[in-house]
Amino acid sequence: MDARYLDWNGSLEILRNAYEAGLFVLVIGSKGTGKTSLVREFARSMEDQNAGALESINFSLRTRESHLVGAKTLSGGDVTFDEGVLVRSMRNGGMLYLDEINAAEADVLIRLDEALDDRRQLVLKEAASGETVRAHDRWFVVASINPLTHSGTKELPPQLLSRFPVRVILEYPPEEVELDIIRRHIGTAHGGMDGDLMQAIRLANTLRQAAAVEELFYSPSLRETIAFGILLGRGVLARKAADWVFGNVYAQWGKIEHQKVNDVITSMFGRSGVTTTTTTAASTGASGTTVGAGIGVGR
């Protein structure tokens, strides 16, 4: 087990039940909500129960059928067939993690569909043998999808969706839980930092809410709040860490976008070069006030 992983919403129980029942699982969550960590943690927790090894494939528009199924290769004049990750895991009865499955092209999804239906078998039409591979009894598949608002994502065809009848939703956690997760990642170095960490979580939530209603182009994930905690633990001032981690990224969408976020950061952490604590009303922003160009500071 990874001591840093916190099963805050009971997702492991869902995976365990699905695994035992032989049902495949779909994990739905935005960027950086812990989808990959959850699946890895589940695989680790099953290690001593004779479960198969975890193999993953991360889908993009460039993923081809050959990555999944395999491809012919020529070595020393002989043509052999190198099996892909899907075929390997079916044979070994491993756990297969299909990451961001809704970024895949239709032809790739069709081959997956074939393997994942109730017969759990795949005809290797690419190999000279034309063999039919049948999945091992304990074969287990988890897929993840990003919500459709994410660029490059497509709606999963309904028949493929139905191959994953158990679903897990991952959202950004409540403030206290996010604080706990950050603490786990920065170890013992967090003494006295909770005020600033909590403020960074509130900043992240404000930006997430603004991005959700398309006021901003980017929504910070748990990676950002953890990175903020790591920098703070190394002695970087909160305001600077907030600029580096949360603010500066918006410069890529131009000065106005960057300034909007800069104003929010100033309202929560004080001005650059001015040391503030996060306990004063001035630095936290009064409850419910709207600052910057229309971005509400969540409290």
Query: Min. distance of Cβ 156 from ligand ATP in angstroms?
Result: 16
Nearest to Mg ion of 168, 237 (CB atom): 168
- Report the residue closest to ligand ATP, judged by CB: 34
Cβ proximity to ligand ATP, 90 vs 200, nearer residue: 200
**Would you say 10 or 294 has its CB closer to ligand ATP?**
10
Among Mg ion, ligand ATP, none, residue 181 binds (CB under 5-8 Å by kind): ligand ATP
Which residues contribute to the site for ligand ATP (CB under 6 A)? 4-6, 8, 29, 31-37, 181, 184, 222-223, 226
Confirm or reject binding of residue 221 to Mg ion (CB under 5 A).
no
CA distances from 75 to 80, 82, 85, 124, 226 (A): 7, 11, 20, 20, 47
The answer to whether 128 and 81 have CB atoms below 8 angstroms apart is yes
- Give the Cα separation of 227 and 246 in Å (integer): 10
Instruction: Report the residue number, 35 or 120, with the smaller CB distance to Mg ion.
Output: 35
Minimum distance of ligand ATP from residue 100's CB (angstroms): 7
Cβ partners under 8 Å of residue 46, min gap 6: 16, 19, 95
3-state secondary structure of 278: coil
| Distance of closest approach, residue 17 Cβ to Mg ion, in angstroms | 22
Distance between terminal CA atoms of the chain? 34
Select 41 or 126, whichever has its Cβ closest to ligand ATP.
41
Q: How far is Cα 299 from Cα 290, in angstroms, rounded to an integer?
A: 11
Report the alpha-carbon distance of residue 53 to residue 148 in Å, rounded.
30
Query: From the list Mg ion, ligand ATP, none, which binds 234 (C-beta under 5 to 8 Å, kind-based)?
Result: none
What's the rounded Cα separation, in Å, for the pair 109 and 179?
38
> Does 36 interact with Mg ion (rule: CB under 5 A)?
yes
Write out the two tokens for 207: 């930006």
Q: What is the DSSP letter of 190?
A: G
Least Å distance, CB 145 to ligand ATP, is: 10
Partner interacting with residue 247 (select from ligand ATP, Mg ion, none; CB below 5-8 Å by kind):
none
Q: How far is the CB of 28 from ligand ATP (least distance, A)?
A: 10
| Tokens 């300034």 sit on residue | 259
Taking the complex as a whole, the smallest distance from the CB of residue 7 to ligand ATP amounts, in Å, to: 7
Longest CA–CA span in the chain (Å) reads 75
**Residues found near Mg ion in the complex (CB under 5 A):** 35-36
